[in-house]
Amino acid sequence: MSDAGNSLFCFGLGYSARALADRLRARNWTVTGTSRSGDGGTIAFDGERDLPGDALDGVTHILVSAPPDAGGDPVLRRCRDELVSRAHQLAWIGYLSTTGVYGDHDGGWVDEETPRAPLSERAVRRAEAEDAWLALARDHGVATHVFRLAGIYGPGRNQLEAVANGTAKRIIKPNQVFSRIHVADIAGVLEASIARPNPGRIYNVADDEPAPPQDVVAFAAQLLGRPAPPEVPFETAELSPMGRSFYAESKRVDNRRIRQELGYTLVYPTYREGLTALHRT
């Protein structure tokens, strides 16, 4: 299927954005985007300088994965007025947020209607950025959608590699569960939303099986034919401050909305299918 004439602009052409870009280029979309450095044919953008004046000419769809900083969302800081002025030409904007905005639920389930209670500074900034982007949809008719991503894995970023290089740890914290999502399914959900835009809508993007992180490591080791790393109690584990902050939150993320409203079927419904496919490549 060809969609020549459609044009995606990615603020932050990184890991998840590139997965979508590859799918759309195969359908003859034009794809451009930014990076902080401007390397690899991207436009340099860090929220402290303006885009070139013609950067969004002809753009029909926008994906925002650039994270907020202490000054707020960098895209809105520099480009808000231009986005509002171009609302008529923009069929879809996707803002990539995080399930971290829900905070800790002691292993309980959360869905898109669950009140946000972010714990970390990063998650607080994401919640504030969500509000700012959704205000564009509400106040100016900009076709904004919010996608709250669970823990991302995929090629080059998965527990198979951690086991293989000896950095994987089986950290045990009772009742700890995380939700995760394969990067190919992130791209699939975004593509499904582009086909069925619903401005102002929020979607959880997670697979079907929240699981204790040590189980994922053990399965990766099994695929590689290696012994699972020894169990390490959370209290004595050597973790970076960021790594330790992830263990401050335990929740199960409900993904029914992407199936029911977008008609999306996960390619990798659990980490088992995802890691098995990565092991075969």
Here the tokens at position 238 are: 């050597």
pLDDT band at 4 (very low <50, low <70, confident <90, very high): low
Q: Which amino acid is at 132?
A: A
Model confidence pLDDT, tens digit, residues 178-231? 999 999 999 999 999 999 999 999 999 999 999 999 999 999 999 999 999 999
Whether residue 1 has pLDDT greater than 50: no
Burial class (CB in 10 A: 0-12, 13-18, 19+), 50: exposed
Burial class (CB in 10 A: 0-12, 13-18, 19+), 47: buried
Exposure string over 226-241, b if 16+ CB within 10 A, otherwise e: eebbeebeeeebeeee
Calpha distance 79→52 (Å, rounded): 11
Which is nearest to 175 in space by CA: 105, 119, 231, 117? 105
pLDDT reported for residue 155: 98
Where does 122-179 show beta strands of DSSP type E?
A: 144-149, 151-153, 170-172
CATH number of 7-280: 3.40.50.720
pLDDT band at 234 (very low <50, low <70, confident <90, very high): very high
Predicted structure pTM score: 0.96
Q: Are the C-beta atoms of residues 169 and 142 closer than 8 Å to each other?
A: no
Residues 6+ apart with CB under 8 A from 121: none
Backbone phi, psi, residue 263, to 5°: 70, 25
Segment 263-272 mean pLDDT: 98
Calpha distance 64→258 (Å, rounded): 19
Q: Are the C-beta atoms of residues 139 and 81 closer than 8 Å to each other?
A: no
Higher pLDDT, 244 or 151: 151
Whether residue 142 has pLDDT greater than 70: yes
Model confidence pLDDT, tens digit, residues 32-77? 999 998 888 899 998 888 899 899 999 999 999 999 999 999 999 9
Whether residue 165 has pLDDT greater than 80: yes
